[in-house]
């Protein structure tokens, strides 16, 4: 399994496994593919965090360089994403459920009224800047209230989410938060990011239902990958894909003045990082690697059909 930690952004990528709930058919078979198929979701994170992120992600979606993306509902450019969703009803857009606000100068608060989710707020009134601080302070019932508010806000703007995942891994950090995450996903009948990890404590498994789709692997570049190793990291990841369903998480953007300001003093997942990701996934070389390794690109929309 290929798994990278979002250590630079404070993300603890602790994802629930499904070793205790075997199904008769693999996900590939349920989707109509042979058992040994290598299925890949190429997923762009963080839509609505900046105009630059949006334009790069929209372009990659339009070029089919990525197959899905997810939206940070509390962020400033949400209405731009809602406009894209309206004009591109087939776009695979999920919600990047957000309980942290990590940038130095570009901060955001909750969607829910602040007086109803006080444990989610740092001393300045924004969401906590780090995963560990959020997990130590937030109350699970207030986190759930905020997650529902984010889903409802997106739906009110005309977005029809295809899936859920978690910004900076907050919802993968404890069994209680993971249970909240699964409960909200079940209520809205959405698939959600969870990965097969046998080492995860058994109590993480209990909220999962027989219908839930659990991925086999996640690939994400970490701060340990140097800029001059970017190409090799991704091409090797494609070469090493195993049968099953993998999500490759990328962070797209253009290294311009806006994104440089948004990601000030935060090189990990920052402006130059996002330009490298964009350049890589839209390159002919990356497309050729997918073809040569017989990778089948799929969407969260495909997985959504399996749970409804």
Q: What is the pLDDT of residue 13?
A: 42
Q: Which residues of 107-120 are buried (b: 16+ CB within 10 A; e: fewer)?
A: ebbbbbeeeebeeb
User: Residues 130-148: pLDDT tens digits?
Assistant: 999 999 999 999 999 999 9
SS3 129: coil
**pLDDT tens sequence across 7-21:** 333 333 444 444 434
3-state SS assignment for residue 42: strand
Q: Where is average pLDDT lowest: 34-38, 151-155, 199-203?
A: 199-203
Q: Specify which residues 44 forms β-bridges with.
A: 69, 250
User: Residue 185 corresponds to which tokens in the numbers above?
Assistant: 């996903």
Tell whether 161 is covered by a domain.
Answer: yes
CA distance 161 to 188: 9
Q: How confident is the model at residue 23 (pLDDT cuts 50, 70, 90)?
A: low
pLDDT of residue 190: 98
Q: What is the DSSP letter of 128?
A: P
Mean pLDDT, the chain, whole residue set: 92
Domain annotation covers residue 133 = yes
Across residues 251-277, what is the average pLDDT?
97
Query: What mean pLDDT is predicted for residues 236-259?
Result: 98
Q: Look at residue 308 in the predicted model and tell me its pLDDT.
A: 85
Measured between alpha carbons, how far is 1 from 167 in angstroms, rounded to an integer?
A: 21
State the CATH number of the domain containing residue 113.
3.20.20.370
Q: Report the alpha-carbon distance of residue 65 to residue 44 in Å, rounded.
A: 10
The beta-carbon contacts of 303-306 under 8 Å, at least 24 apart in sequence, are 303/27, 303/31, 303/163, 303/191, 303/213, 303/245, 304/162, 304/163, 304/190, 304/191, 306/27, 306/30, 306/31, 306/191, 306/211, 306/213
At 263, the pLDDT band (50, 70, 90 cuts) reads very high
DSSP 181: H
| CA–CA gap between residue 173 and residue 14 (Å, rounded) | 6
Is pLDDT of 6 > 50?
no
Percent of the chain with pLDDT over 70: 93
Low-confidence winner among 6-20, 164-178, 232-246 (lowest mean pLDDT): 6-20
Q: What share of the chain is helix, strand, coil (3-state, %, to 5)?
A: 40, 15, 45
Which residues sit opposite 166 in a β-bridge?
Answer: 97
Is the model more confident about 210 or about 248?
248
Give the pLDDT mean for 47-54: 98
> If you average pLDDT over residues 241-270, what whole number do you get?
97
Max CA distance (Å), the chain? 54
Q: Which domain holds residue 74?
A: 7-304
In a domain, 2, yes or no: no
Average pLDDT over residues 98-120: 98
Q: What gap in Å lies between CA 70 and CA 96, rounded to an integer?
A: 5
What does 280-295 look like in DSSP terms, one character per residue?
HHTSHHHHHHHHHTTE
- For residue 47, list its beta bridge partners: 71
In the chain, how many domains are there? 1
Task: Give the whole-angstrom CA distance, residue 130 versus residue 219.
Answer: 22
For residue 1, being part of any structural domain is answered with no
**Predicted local confidence at residue 175, as pLDDT:** 93
Residue 5 has pLDDT above 80, yes or no: no
- Residue 16: the pLDDT is 44
């Amino acid at each position: 399994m290929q798994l990278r930690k979002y250590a630079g952004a404070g993300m603890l990528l602790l994802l629930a496994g499904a070793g205790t709930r075997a199904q008769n058919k693999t996900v590939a078979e349920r989707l109509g593919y042979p058992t040994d198929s290598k299925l890949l979701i190429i997923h762009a994170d963080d839509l609505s965090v900046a105009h630059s992120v949006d334009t790069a992600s929209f372009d990659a979606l339009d070029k089919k360089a990525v197959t899905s993306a997810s939206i940070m509902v509390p962020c400033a450019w949400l209405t731009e994403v809602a406009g894209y969703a309206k004009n591109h009803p087939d776009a695979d857009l999920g919600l990047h459920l957000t309980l942290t606000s990590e940038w130095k100068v570009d901060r955001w608060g909750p969607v829910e009224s602040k007086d109803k989710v006080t444990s989610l707020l740092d001393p300045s009134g924004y969401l906590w800047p780090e995963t560990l601080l959020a997990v130590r302070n937030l109350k699970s019932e207030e986190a759930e209230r905020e997650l529902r508010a984010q889903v409802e806000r997106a739906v009110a703007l005309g977005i029809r989410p295809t899936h859920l995942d978690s910004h900076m891994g907050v919802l993968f950090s404890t069994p209680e938060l993971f249970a909240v995450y699964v409960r909200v996903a079940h209520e809205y009948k959405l698939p959600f990011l969870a990965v097969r990890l046998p080492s995860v404590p058994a109590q993480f498994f209990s909220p999962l239902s027989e219908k839930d789709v659990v991925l086999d692997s996640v690939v994400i570049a970490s701060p340990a990958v140097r800029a001059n190793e970017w190409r090799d990291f991704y091409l090797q990841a494609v070469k090493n894909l195993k049968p099953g369903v993998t999500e490759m998480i990328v962070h797209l953007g253009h290294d311009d003045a806006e994104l440089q300001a948004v990601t000030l003093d935060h090189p990990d997942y920052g402006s130059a990082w996002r330009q490298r990701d964009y350049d890589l996934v839209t390159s002919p070389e990356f497309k050729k690697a997918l073809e040569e390794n017989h990778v089948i690109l799929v969407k969260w929309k495909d997985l959504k059909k399996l749970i409804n």
